[in-house]
Structure 1
Amino acid sequence: MSSFNRIILLGNLTRDPELKQLDSGQSVCRLGLAVNRQYKNSQGAMVQEVCYVDIDLWGAQAESSNKYLEKGRLVLIEGRLKLDTWETDGQKRSKHSIAGERITFMPVSGNSQSSDFESAKNNSFATASVDQSARAIRTAPKTPRTKKTTVDMKNSGEINLPDAQPFEDDLPF
């Protein structure tokens, strides 16, 4: 029987990233993540439940995370669940953690009154708010579409294209 081990978490960092270099030269970064869940209990009161998870990132993602992230920042983590085991004072210990395979730095909200968790909850990923100063993408002006042209293809494999106007090079960059 096959199995599936995939996890996706959205939460805030509980501490600054910790970057380490292994003897092999490989970079590993450990993050602490708080994932919140709000629900109504049986009395109708809102309850907030917090789950704390350790995340390990490797390679270039580890280095980028260490460079650009800090405590409190909202991130989306995709990875797999793993079980870490060790022995302390003769007792076997274990805990679950996440082997991060992909990290997405979520937009920083401009409103300092609300938490990043609240802003992410109120915005979908497709319409997440982005600082206007950070928006460096400019869109090209829309040009009206011209009529469709047909391509004449003979049995010989040759394609006869109709004469077309040259491409206008009005790229915004």
Structure 2
Amino acid sequence: MRGLNKVTLIGNLGKDPEVQVLEGNVAVAKFSLATAETYRDKSGQPHTSTDWHSIVLWRGLAELAQAYLRKGSLIYLEGKLKARHYDDAAGVRHYVTEVVGEQLLLLDKKTGDALPPAT
């Protein structure tokens, strides 16, 4: 049996991407992405629920993020969930779930430059 690990998000960046260039000249970008859902409670009052997602982009997508994305940018992102863990200096284990982006579209209408679809 085969599995499927696919995530599709549309949301706004919570901060400018943090881009690093690793050994071998490999770029990696990290940022938070907010997605919001609006619903009505039993009395009909609207409420908005916001979820924050940790996003990681590699290589060409990281370079595109550095060039075009800023805090507040509206994007469409396709990717996959990746879980990992690390131990801090005190020996405490931390668990992290991130979305590793595979496709990115800039949805902002305020920029004159169009960002082509990237994979």
2:27 match: 27
1:99 match: 100
**Aligned sequence identity (%):** 28
Larger Rg: 1
Q: CA separation in 1, counterparts of 2:5 and 2:53?
A: 16
Unaligned 5+ segments in structure 2 are: 115-119
User: Which amino acid in 2 is paired with 1:91?
Assistant: V
What is the total number of aligned residue pairs between the two structures?
113
Q: Deviations over 1:52-77 (max 9, x none)?
A: 01111111111111111110010001
1:59 match: 59
Residue 62 of structure 1: SS of its match in structure 2?
A: helix
Please tell me whether residue 44 in structure 1 is matched to residue 50 in structure 2: no
Residue 3 of structure 1: SS of its match in structure 2?
A: coil
CA drift at 1:9: 0.1
Trace 1:62-73 onto structure 2 (pairs within 5 A).
62-73=62-73
> Structure 2 vs 1, CA of residues 57 and 46 (structure 1 numbering), >3 Å: closer, same or farther?
same
Unaligned 5+ segments in structure 1 are: 110-130, 136-173
CA drift at 1:90: 2.0
Q: CA separation in 2, counterparts of 1:104 and 1:9?
A: 11
Q: TM-score, normalised by structure 2?
A: 0.87
